[in-house]
Amino acid sequence: MIRLIGILTGLFFALMAVWGFGTGLATVISDGQLKEATAEHEFHLHPRDAELASDGAFGKWDLAQLQRGMQVYKEVCAACHGLKFVAFRDLTALGYSEAEVKAIAAGFQVPGIDPNTGEANTRPGLPTDYFPSPYPNSVAAAAANNNAIPPDLSLMTKARHDGGNYVYSLLTGYRNVDTFSIDGKKVKEEFPEFSTPPNTHFNPYFANLNIAMAAPLTTEGQVTYAEGQPKATVDQMSRDVAAFLTWTAEPKKVKRTQVGWPVMGFLLFATILAWMAKNQVWAAIKPKKKPA
């Protein structure tokens, strides 16, 4: 009787799983997700490999690149995007001295309070402060950017699939919609109804192909790197700021990887040791033979 109940219970759950799959498939079809291809589906590109030093199982931070990326953020990206989860003092991990961190912090205006009147004001940043938003609130941000609120970049590379590569590809991916093609197929020829609305810009690395942000990096030398550093091409600046934003999103990434390998080695050794101990303990005990 118990076996019969078990079989019926298993059959019930199997039927429920099949029913759920069928319902989901019907919903997808009814929502039109399986209808004819769209421009977004056909011409959306996967991110290109930025070849960051922090990538891979043996990745490490390239401090010189992170500092260049910090410079690009400060001189270009900070005009529209904040880093609300990153404190200025965290920059010491990139090789900056305490004096340099103080100078960087002082270059930003952060919210403060007048000690005499108690009124809200702004003041130069301190190492203990966090990177401020360039706008006082979301309404002001939308008003200054055609109703498109620039996102905070602290966790951007964690919020997007293949984040570092995504940022790099997006910054270098702006194209002319009228001439852009893949395998000889042009967007306008394949989908004549597709258009780039006013105040948007065509970028095949963006999900719906049209992004509100204009290309922020457009010319070589837009940021002046220190002597001895690579030439500040659009590609190099994009790669550097992608590396920096990878660090802001996951500053312990390399440390975690470095600690992970010894831990994996220890667990492997402990597993082998436990298996050998088990064989040693039970070696003298022979299994009983079943009667014929």
Report the C-alpha gap between 191 and 175 in whole angstroms: 17
Report the C-alpha gap between 215 and 218 in whole angstroms: 6
Return phi, psi of residue 121, to 5°. Answer: -150, -170
Annotated binding-site residue? 80:
yes
Q: What's the sign of the alpha-carbon dihedral 53, 71, 223, 249? A: positive
Q: Which residue has the tokens 């989901």?
A: 24
Annotated binding-site residue? 213:
yes
Q: Which structure tokens are listed for 119? A: 């009124």
Annotated binding-site residue? 201:
no
CA angle, corner 92, sides to 90 and 93, nearest 5? 80
Annotated binding-site residue? 276:
no
Report the C-alpha gap between 154 and 134 in whole angstroms: 14
Question: Cα torsion at 176, 177, 180, 183 (round to 10°)?
Answer: 170
End-to-end CA distance of the chain: give it in Å, rounded: 30
CA distances from 279 to 80, 273, 283 (A): 64, 10, 6
Return phi, psi of residue 100, to 5°. Answer: -65, -40
3-state class (DSSP) for residue 111: strand
Q: Is there a contact between 250 and 158 (Cβ–Cβ < 8 Å)?
A: yes
Report the C-alpha gap between 49 and 51 in whole angstroms: 5
Q: Is there a contact between 194 and 260 (Cβ–Cβ < 8 Å)?
A: no
Q: Which residues are annotated as a binding site for heme c?
A: 77, 80-81, 213
Q: Which residues are annotated as a binding site?
A: 77, 80-81, 213
